[in-house]
Amino acid sequence: METSIYVILALLAIFIIGPALFTDRSPIPETSGNVFKITKAAELDALLSSTTNVVVDFYADWCPPCRAIAPVFSKLADSHAVSGQLAFAKVNVDHVKDVAGRYTVTAMPTFVFFEKGKPTPVKAQGVNDGDDRIRGANPKALTAVVLALAKAAKSESEI
C-alpha cells in the first residue's frame, strides 16, 4: 500500500512538473522576411513613425500558444505587408521588457495594433469594440484584423 502511494505521487509529479521542465525554450524561428524583429525600443519607435499601421506580436520563446500562432502571423505578413502602410513586428517580452511594459503587455501572445504610432482599436470580427489588442492565440481574430488593416492600406495607397 505504501509503495503504491509513492508510485502515484511520483507519477503526479512527473505529469505536473514535467511539462515545465521540458518545454521548448529555443527561439521561435521566423519564416517571413516581412516581420521586423524588435530588439530595442528605438527600433519599434522608428517603425511606428515610418509606417501608418503596425501589428506587433508580443511573445515569449517558452510560450506554446506563441509557437502555435507564429506561422499564421508570418503568413499574414507575407500576404499583406505594404511598405509605409502596413508592417508586422515581433517583440520578445523576455528580451525587450521595457517595450512590453510601455504597452502593458501581461499575457502572451498579445497582438497590439498601432495607427500613426499609437495603439488603436480595429473593428473586426472576434475583437471587442474599443480594444487595441488581441490577447491569446486567436488566428481568426488576428486574420480579421489584418484583413481590415490591409483593406485600409490598399485604399490609402490608391489615393
CB atoms within 10 A of CB 89: 23
Domains in the chain, CATH or no CATH each: 35-158 (3.40.30.10)
Which tens digit of pLDDT belongs to each residue from 87-137? Answer: 999 999 999 999 999 999 999 999 999 999 999 998 887 777 778 999 999
Is the distance from CB of 61 to CB of 90 less than 8 angstroms? no
66 catalytic? Reply is yes
- Supply the pLDDT for residue 7: 77
Rg (CA), the chain: 19
Please tell me which residue in 28, 35, 47, 63 is annotated as part of the active site.
63
113 catalytic? Reply is no
- Supply the pLDDT for residue 28: 66
- Supply the pLDDT for residue 9: 75
Please tell me which residue in 44, 54, 60, 66 is annotated as part of the active site.
66
* 3-state SS string for the chain: CHHHHHHHHHHHHHHHHHHHHHCCCCCCCCCCCCEEEECCHHHHHHHHHHCCEEEEEEECCCCHHHHHHHHHHHHHHHHHCECCCEEEEEEECCCCHHHHHHCCCCCCCEEEEEECCEECCCCCCCCCCCCCEEECCCHHHHHHHHHHHHHHHHHHHHC
Is the distance from CB of 41 to CB of 84 less than 8 angstroms? no
Which tens digit of pLDDT belongs to each residue from 18-46? Answer: 555 555 666 666 667 899 999 999 999 99
Of 152, 153, 151, 142, the closest CA to residue 68 belongs to 142
The confidence band for 157, taking pLDDT boundaries of 50, 70 and 90, is: low
pTM of the shown model = 0.81
